[in-house]
Structure 1
Amino acid sequence: MTIEARIRELGNRHRNLEDAIHQALQSPSVDSLMLRDMKRRKLRLKEEIRELETRVP
């Protein structure tokens, strides 16, 4: 898999998590631990995307 393809894949996962977080925040019974975990995973994806972007010429 190329770096560009990996960046796209991670970007899709990042957007999906962003949507899931938004949906969870709409729920009156949001699970704060689950929400925190989703936000951490989203941040890790963002960091990985940034690192890979530095490798692309």
Structure 2
Amino acid sequence: MSASEKAKAKTEQAKGKTKEAVGGAVGNERMAAEGRAEKSTGDARQAKEKAKDAFKS
């Protein structure tokens, strides 16, 4: 996994998790949904990079 893509994935996951928690805490469902979507994007990016690494070996 390239370092920059790995960092992007981790950042997206962390931002999404934070946004989801804050949105849930203040009762803002839209913010919570955006957080879940961002976290999912980070998860997908991480999975893609892991798959690329598996085929390199």
- Class of the TM-score when normalised by the shorter of the 2 chains: 0.5 to 0.7
Greater relative CO (CA pairs within 8 A, separation 6+): 1
Equivalent pairs, count: 54
RMSD: 2.0
Q: Give the drift of 1:46.
A: 0.4
Contiguous gaps of at least 5 residues in structure 1 = none
Percent identity for Structure 1 against Structure 2 = 4
**Greater per-residue helix proportion:** 2
Contact 1:7 1:53 in 2 (8 A): no
Contiguous gaps of at least 5 residues in structure 2 = none
After TM superposition, the score normalised by the length of structure 2 is 0.67
Equivalent residue number for residue 36 of structure 1: 33
After TM superposition, the score normalised by the length of structure 1 is 0.67
